[in-house]
Amino acid sequence: MRSEETALLDSARFAQRPSILNSLFELRFPFEAALFWIHGIHHPWPHVEKDGHRKAVMMIPGFMAGDFTMAPLGGLCSWLGHKTFFTGIRSNSRCPRETVIHLERHLEKIHGSEGRVVIIGQSLGGVYARELASRRPELIERVITLGSPIRYVEDSSNALVMATARMIAKLRNMDDGCLTQSCSCGMALVERHPGDVPTTVVYSRTDGVVHWGSCVDKSGAKTVENIEVMASHVGMGVNMDVFRVIADRLAAAPRVSMPRPTTPPVVRPIRRQEQLSQHP
């Protein structure tokens, strides 16, 4: 696992698609889950102390996935002492506009009882997490994305994934281009600026679903960090290296809100009659 301050080459107009070899290696995710029980037992996990900073964590699954796929990661967060919330999504394949509305309402509900929320999104879930950070930064403590494409989605995704998106949109009688960048619902879900919300971008060069280059944030914002792990795309929700990154970020102190600029007092101009009354 290694962290980079991204200075990646930007010469290509479009990102590449994942290699066939990386796509085949997506089948290794059961071994990634097994490694947690081999190496994770001896790792010094940062549990929440009695008076520590317990976080509220909202999980957003990837494309066509449901809450159950985030259960191992949610279990880790709960074991560390944080409070985990799922989104009620059985299959993340509905209209993006409707999904974001649902997630925003869910975020407001959690914030109302727990305060600012850490959002962890895998793949498409991370894209939605960045959208929420753009819309409601005051409700969010941190965003963590796992293998989430933030540019050139159609050109960097596995061709089979894009074909599946088009088929689902057709079967559900969605608008033409729904679940793709040409969606007509008015949602622009790529290249969202992170703003003041701390954002941790986790990506893997061996990702077999989305090319890793499209997952890296190149905004240069001080609130963003890009972290490379050795993981499959599907296995990021059970990967030991990913777990370590998430546990470390959850242990961080709560972010300090930027003070709102004070509005200067409005000085009422003295009318000419008032001036005359003071000087008879």
Share of the chain above pLDDT 90, in %: 46
pLDDT for the residue numbered 171: 58
pTM: 0.80
pLDDT for the residue numbered 256: 78
Residue pair 115/255 in contact by the 8 Å Cβ criterion: no
| Coil, strand or helix at 226 | strand
Distance CA 44, CA 35 (A): 16
Residue at token pair 């061709």: 159
Which domains does the chain show, CATH number per domain?
2-259 (3.40.50.1820)
Residue type, 233: H
pLDDT for the residue numbered 63: 87
pLDDT tens readout for residues 49-90:
877 889 999 999 998 899 999 999 999 999 999 999 999 999
Q: Helices 71-79 and 240-250 sit at what angle, rounded to 10 degrees?
A: 40
Could you tell me the strand order of the sheet in which 117-122 lies?
2-4, 224-228, 199-203, 140-146, 117-122, 56-60, 83-85
Q: How confident is the model at residue 4 (pLDDT cuts 50, 70, 90)?
A: very low
Number of helical H runs and strand E runs in the chain: 9, 7
Residue pair 152/14 in contact by the 8 Å Cβ criterion: yes
Q: Find the Cα–Cα–Cα–Cα dihedral 249, 56, 132, 172, rounded to 10°.
A: 110
pLDDT top residue among 7 and 51? 51
Q: Does 272 score more than 60 pLDDT?
A: no
Start-to-end CA span in the chain (Å): 82
Residue type, 243: F
Distance CA 84, CA 91 (A): 19
pLDDT for the residue numbered 243: 96
| Coil, strand or helix at 157 | strand
Residue at token pair 């975020």: 107
Closest CA to 125 of 106, 98, 103, 154: 103
pLDDT for the residue numbered 86: 97
pLDDT for the residue numbered 164: 60
